[in-house]
């Protein structure tokens, strides 16, 4: 058997971190490069779906992870002027993880990094910004590693770009993501959660004219001073027409306070805590994907290959499923010393149908919201959907699709053996 070749994973988000862990757990040498010095950044995806929790369970990690502070959300609702519509009920799923766990992404990544650090073949380097590729990615000159900003060169038999929607590696490789048509931006900020707040609003969308408000629940941030009035944190996202931030800036923070309080009246008592627009973060919603996710010696996964809208919370799920499928193909190939174009192409071929399905659905939602916004009307589900979602089986089917993705992803028997996976959770 050939000596396994080293893999360099660029980007310590959920997809990159999980893939690096899986490769190292299979005994393959891997170096994970993260350009920041830590993982602590606000308003990143926080949703861990049942599929992700089940995989972590089989890896023997879920129990320890869920000892960390988090919030469980068992239903997804639209809150409309005509009343609430429960579209997905995770509590109906046949799994011990019948919920979405909402946990700050930095906490999840720190946990995985700590677990990976116990593996002999894993190396994490933070503050390691990539500035160049060794090799052009052609058949005659495959990518052979990366160059860091300080000039250091790190050789690798395979480079995996998991460095997000603004991927530096993707740009260096000359690959371009094609927009699928997003029409919305989101203005995010945080507010405290009080004991009197609704207990079931953790992944809800509140609709009205021109804007909708998305809420994500979460635990009290680490390091916050104790306050008996505060039981957690709300991440609040106010939708804007794409490119609409200059208008918001002109209207000022009072406009944002008023629009949020109109749609979510029980937040009105703390909107004065949003002291200015400098306390907000503008997220430009993007739905895009790269036609070809690989070059010789290089593979793109997660947002580097396909950007998912944050609405619906599918980004982490798609990235983690990318990681498992990539590990399924790469572990045997890297053990033999090569991951050629047929291996990298097979990873894209397996994952692309799910990505296309999710993105097409998100584009349809974007267009519906844009039409309603242009007409000055609130977004409301059609009457037939309101009737259908009263049927538990419909809510269960919707929850299952969101919990596991549109295309089932399971490890092969060979990968199960390599990772020493436990049985699926009963």
Mean pLDDT of 163-180: 95
Mean pLDDT of 218-231: 87
Model confidence pLDDT, tens digit, residues 132-147: 999 999 989 999 999 9
Model confidence pLDDT, tens digit, residues 70-98: 999 999 998 887 788 899 999 999 999 99
Q: In the chain, where are the structural domains located?
A: 7-179+287-419, 184-241+243-284
Q: Phi then psi for 8, rounded to 5 degrees? A: -110, 120
Model confidence pLDDT, tens digit, residues 232-241: 999 999 999 8
Reduced to 3 states (helix: H, G, I; strand: E, B; else coil), residue 141 is coil
- The topology under which CATH files domain 7-179+287-419 is FAD/NAD(P)-binding domain (3.50.50)
pLDDT at site 364? 86
pLDDT at site 312? 73
pLDDT at site 224? 81
Mean pLDDT of 7-12: 97
pLDDT at site 310? 83
Token representation of residue 44: 């990143």
Model confidence pLDDT, tens digit, residues 268-291: 999 999 999 999 999 888 999 999
Q: Given a cut of 90, is residue 119 above it in pLDDT?
A: yes
Angle at 164 between CA 336 and CA 363, to 5 degrees: 110
Give the Å distances, CA to CA, from 95 to 34, 52, 67, 92. Answer: 34, 12, 19, 9
The span from the CA of 328 to the CA of 418, in Å, is 10
Helix (H) or strand (E) holding 17: helix 14-25
Q: Count of CB atoms within 10 A of residue 291's CB?
A: 11
């Amino acid at each position: 058997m050939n000596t396994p070749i080293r893999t360099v994973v660029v980007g310590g988000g959920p997809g990159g971190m999980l893939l690096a862990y899986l490769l190292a757990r299979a005994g393959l040498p891997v170096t994970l490069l993260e350009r920041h010095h830590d993982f602590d950044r606000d308003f990143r995806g926080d949703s861990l779906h049942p599929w992700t929790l089940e995989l972590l369970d089989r890896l023997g990690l879920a129990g320890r992870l869920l000892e960390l502070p988090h919030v469980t959300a068992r239903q997804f609702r639209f809150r409309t002027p005509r009343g609430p519509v429960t579209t997905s009920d995770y509590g109906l799923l046949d799994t011990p993880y019948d919920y979405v766990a909402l946990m700050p992404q930095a906490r999840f990544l720190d946990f995985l990094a700590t677990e990976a650090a116990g593996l002999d073949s894993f190396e994490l380097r933070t503050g390691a910004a990539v500035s160049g590729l060794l090799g052009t990615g052609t058949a005659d000159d495959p990518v052979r590693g990366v160059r860091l900003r300080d000039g250091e060169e790190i050789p690798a038999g395979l480079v995996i770009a998991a460095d997000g929607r603004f991927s530096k590696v993707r740009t260096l490789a000359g690959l371009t993501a094609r927009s699928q048509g997003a029409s919305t931006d989101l203005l995010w900020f945080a507010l405290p959660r009080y004991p009197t707040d609704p207990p079931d609003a953790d992944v809800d969308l509140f609709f009205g004219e021109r804007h909708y408000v998305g809420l994500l629940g979460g635990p009290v941030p680490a390091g916050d001073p104790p306050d008996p009035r505060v039981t957690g944190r709300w991440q609040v996202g106010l939708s804007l027409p794409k490119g609409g931030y200059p208008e918001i800036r002109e209207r000022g923070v009072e406009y944002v306070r008023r629009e949020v309080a109109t749609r979510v009246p029980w937040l009105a008592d703390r909107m004065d805590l949003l002291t200015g627009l400098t306390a907000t973060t503008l997220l430009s919603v993007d739905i895009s994907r790269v036609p070809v996710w690989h070059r010789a010696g290089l593979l793109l996964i997660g947002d580097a290959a396909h950007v998912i809208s944050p609405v619906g919370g599918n980004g982490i799920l798609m990235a983690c499923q990318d990681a498992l499928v990539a590990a399924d193909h790469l572990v045997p190939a890297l053990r033999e010393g090569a991951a050629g174009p047929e291996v990298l192409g097979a990873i894209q071929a397996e994952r692309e149908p799910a990505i296309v399905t999710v993105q097409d659905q998100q584009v349809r939602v974007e267009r519906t919201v844009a039409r309603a916004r242009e007409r000055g009307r609130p977004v409301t589900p059609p009457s037939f959907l309101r009737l259908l979602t009263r049927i538990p089986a419909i809510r269960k089917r919707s929850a299952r699709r969101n919990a596991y993705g549109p295309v089932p992803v399971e490890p092969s028997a060979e990968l199960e053996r390599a990772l020493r996976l436990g049985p699926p959770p009963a």
